[in-house]
Structure 1
Amino acid sequence: MPENLLEALRSQLDRTDEQLLDVLRTRIGICVDIAEYKREHDVPMMQPHRIGIVQQRAARYGEANGVDTDFLRRLYDLIIAETCRVEDLVIGVPTS
């Protein structure tokens, strides 16, 4: 019986991972839309104040929900780096 419980929990984790990946894909898609807007309206890709807002919101979420804020900072560093890379591609900024 315990093995069945372990498999059920792993299955639940697998479904949650798929949802997480779907949300990341959706987030990147929204960033593509933002990049297209920036390109069409000559808005600079990099918006440092916006990055700060996103990081602060994640930190507040972590504090309120018992999620390590350092983990969330590192996670958002990766997410932001990837969305900046994608925005650069959409806007047409050469990458090094």
Structure 2
Amino acid sequence: MSGYDLVEEVKKNKNIESDYKLAQALGKTRGTVSNWKQGLSKPDGETVLKLMILGDVEARRALELMQGGYAKMSLMAVTAMLSGAVILASNPVIYDLLYIMRN
């Protein structure tokens, strides 16, 4: 998926009327913003951060907008794995077992 949804959400959140005005706020050209919306390119990480800050878009929402439903599923899977890892690592019996298995 392109940056179309993220660009449109930022414009909506901040009442930015045109791609040109958004491009000016980001220090980009209107053509660059147009390319994101057409899927010809994607904004780099720094620009995504600028879009998030400018448009008051949370990181999770920005991922969903940039990557569609896959980001939501991936984010949920990563969160579940990290939660499980923290729970397991905090259990002394599991911790000892993992230590023994590694050595």
Same fold (TM over 0.5): no
Q: Which has the higher helix share?
A: 1
Which of 1 and 2 has higher RCO (CA within 8 Å, sep 6+)?
Answer: 1
Query: What is the TM-score when the length of structure 1 is the normalising length?
Result: 0.29
Normalising to structure 2: TM-score of the pair?
Answer: 0.28
